[in-house]
Structure 1
Amino acid sequence: MEEEIRLMDIKALQEYSRQDSCIDDYLFMTDRLENMLAGEKSARTKVFLMIYCTRGEVNLELNNKSYRLQTDDLLVGLPNTFIGKILASPDYQVKIICLSGRFIQRLTQTEKYTWKSFNYLHRNPIKHLGKKEKSLFRLYLNLIENKITQKENPYQKEILLYLSSAFFTEFIAAIGKDTISPEEGTRQPVNQPDFIFKRFMEALTSDNGRHRTLAYYAEQFNYSPKYLSRIIKQVSGKNALTLIHENAIECIIHELRYSNKSIKEIAIAFEFSNISFFAQYVKKHLGVTPSEYRSSHPFTADPKEQDLPTD
Structure 2
Amino acid sequence: METNEKELPKIDLPEDWVIGTDINKDLLSLYAHYPVRLKCEMFVMCLAGEVEAMVNLNEIQVRPNDVITLMPGTIFQINEVRGDLKIYFLGFSSGFIERSGQSRSMLDAIFLTLGRPVIPLKSEGALMMEKYLQMLIGMYEQFNEKIRQEIAPNLYADVHTGISIIYKSRHYDKISLSKSELICRSFMQLVTQHYNQTRNVSWYAQKLGITHAHLCAVVKQITGKTCIDVISSMVIMDAKSQLKSTNLTIQAISDSLNFANISFFGKYFKRYVGISPLEYRKL
TM-score (norm 1): 0.47
Following TM superposition, where does structure 1 have runs of at least 4 consecutive aligned residues deviating by more than 6 angstroms?
225-228
Aligned equivalent of 2:46: 53
Letter in 2 for 1:230: L
> Matched residues in 2 for 1:36 and 1:7: separation?
16
Contact kept in structure 1, 2:52 and 2:81, CA below 8 Å = yes
CA–CA distance in structure 1, aligned partners of residues 94 and 209 of structure 2: 21
Matched, 1:147 2:149: no
2-structure distance, mates of 1:6, 1:38:
17
- Check the 8 A contact 1:28/1:99 in 2, yes or no: no
Cα deviation, residue 116, structure 1: 5.1
1:10 maps to which residue? 12
Q: How large is the Cα RMSD of the aligned pairs? A: 4.2
Structure 2 equivalent of residue 109 of structure 1: 103
**CA-to-aligned-CA distance 1:89-131 (integer Å, 9 cap, x gap):** 23111112222356456374234xx545423422212100123
In 1, Cα distance between equivalents of 2:97 and 2:173: 20
Q: Does structure 2 retain, via aligned residues, the 8 Å contact 1:144–1:163?
A: no
Which whole-Å CA distance do the structure 2 matches of 1:116 and 1:154 have between them? 29
Q: Is 2:25 the partner of 1:31?
A: no
Q: Give the equivalent residue in structure 2 for 1:229.
A: 207
User: How far is the alpha carbon of 1:78 from its aligned partner?
Assistant: 2.3
What residue in structure 2 maps to residue 75 of structure 1? Answer: 68
- Distance in 2, matches of 1:227 and 1:97, equals 35
CA distance in 1, matches of 2:70, 2:32: 17
| Equivalent-residue separation in structure 2 for 1:36 and 1:99 (angstroms) | 19
Deviations 1:182-233 (A, max 9, x none): 99xxxxxx99x99xx9xxxxxxxxxxxxxxxxxxxxxxxxxxx98773359x
**Percent pairwise identity:** 15
User: Matched residues in 2 for 1:6 and 1:39: separation?
Assistant: 16
CA shift, 1:76, in A, is 1.9
For residue 131 of structure 1, the aligned residue among 123, 131, 154 is: 123
Q: 1:61 to 1:230 in 2, by over 3 A?
A: same
Query: Does the C-alpha gap of structure 1 residues 40 and 130 become closer, same or farther in structure 2, counting only changes over 3 Å?
Result: closer
The structure with the largest alpha-carbon Rg is 1
Cα deviation, residue 160, structure 1? 4.8
Please report how far the alpha carbon of residue 180 of structure 1 lies from its aligned counterpart in structure 2 after TM superposition: 4.8
SS in 2 for 1:175: helix
Which letter maps to 2:147?
Y
SS, match of residue 155 in structure 1: helix
How many residue pairs get aligned? The number is 185
The whole-number CA distance in structure 2 between the counterparts of 1:167 and 1:153 is 19
Instruction: Map 1:126-275 to 2 at 5 A.
Output: 126-150=118-142, 152=144, 155-177=147-169, 178=171, 180=173, 229-231=207-209
8 Å contact kept, 2:32–2:80: no
Which amino acid in structure 2 is aligned with residue 136 of structure 1?
M
Q: Which has the higher contact order (CA 8 A, sep 6+)?
A: 2
Equivalent residue of 1:133, what SS? helix
Gaps of 5+ in 1: 12-21, 184-189, 198-224, 235-311
In structure 1, the partner of 2:270 is none
How far does the alpha carbon of each residue in 1:159-196 deviate from its partner, in whole angstroms, 9 at most, with x for none?
3553343233211111123565699xxxxxx99x99xx
Counterpart CA distance in 2 for 1:134 and 1:156 is: 25
Cα distance change of structure 1 residues 227 and 66 upon mapping to structure 2, 3 Å threshold: closer
Unpaired stretches in structure 2, ≥5 consecutive residues: 187-202, 216-283
